[in-house]
């Protein structure tokens, strides 16, 4: 079965519609999705010298993006509320997603985190909010928070960032189709490229 890697970060606005669209599109095309959480801060800083969201750094771009998100979410019938804080701390949520990767609830949890942050303006940096979401998707907050804090999970997230960088990722959402051919896999960037990425995975 063809495989598509979905690289995302909870601070990324356009990853929200992508996360809610990808399983449906992949199912229709017979493509398997691998959910790959990514901590973007270090990558942004290393590649672009930024220490804040580009949408905060360039105000006119940010203003456009919020209006565009409103339109995109409306077209997808996804709830949208501009978060009262942006970007929110994503590190704990990302580590919990990795735990969910081992327990089978990563996709449900990731979608729930996006909906909380961008649909309901809840603080996904707050452990209490995340504990509720873990519970909702069938996890065990006590055990899962404990594991999220383990050296193994921390290393897994660091390894993800390094792997993403090696694959040419520089933003989220990104979609990567592994390949045995030269020069390696195919990368697509942005929610707008999801359809093309799924089609590419199905065809190659």
**Judged by CB under 8 A, does residue 45 bind its own copies?**
no
Cross-strand partners of 187: 176
Which segments of 9-162 are extended strands (E)?
32-37
Site string for its own copies, 46-85 (x = CB under 8 A): -xx---------xxxx-xx--xx--x---x----------
**Judged by CB under 8 A, does residue 204 bind its own copies?**
no
Stretch that binds its own copies, among 79-87, 91-99, 115-123, 189-197 (CB under 8 A): 189-197
Q: How far is the CB of 62 from its own copies (least distance, A)?
A: 10
Whether 115 contacts 79, CB under 8 Å: yes
**Judged by CB under 8 A, does residue 187 bind its own copies?**
yes
Residues within window 135-174 making contact with its own copies, judged by CB under 8 A: 168, 170-171
Q: What are phi and psi of 33, to 5 degrees?
A: -100, 130
Buried b (16+ CB within 10 A) or exposed e, 177-186: beeeeeeebb
Q: Report residue 15 as tokens.
A: 């990853």
Distance, CA of 184 to CA of 176 (rounded, Å): 10
Q: Return residues touching its own copies (CB under 8 A).
A: 47-48, 58-61, 63-64, 67-68, 71, 75, 168, 170-171, 187-190, 192-193, 196
């Amino acid at each position: 079965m063809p495989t598509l890697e979905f690289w995302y970060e909870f601070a990324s606005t356009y990853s929200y519609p992508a996360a809610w669209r990808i399983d449906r599109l992949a199912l229709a095309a017979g493509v398997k999705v691998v959910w790959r959480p990514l901590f973007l801060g270090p990558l942004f800083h290393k590649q672009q010298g930024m220490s804040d969201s580009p949408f905060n750094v360039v105000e006119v771009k940010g203003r456009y993006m919020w209006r565009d998100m409103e339109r995109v979410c409306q077209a997808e019938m996804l709830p949208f509320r501009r978060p009262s804080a942006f970007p929110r701390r994503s590190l704990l949520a990302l580590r919990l997603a990795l735990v969910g990767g081992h327990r089978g609830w990563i996709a449900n949890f990731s979608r729930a985190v996006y909906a909380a942050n961008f649909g309901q303006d809840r603080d996904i940096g707050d452990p209490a909010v995340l504990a509720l979401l873990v519970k909702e998707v069938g996890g065990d907050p006590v055990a899962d928070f404990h594991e999220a804090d383990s050296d193994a999970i921390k290393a897994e997230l660091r390894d993800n960032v390094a792997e993403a960088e090696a694959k040419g990722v520089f933003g989220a959402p990104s979609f990567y189709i592994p390949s045995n051919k030269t020069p390696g896999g195919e990368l697509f960037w942005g929610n707008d490229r999801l359809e093309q990425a799924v089609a590419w995975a199905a065809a190659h």
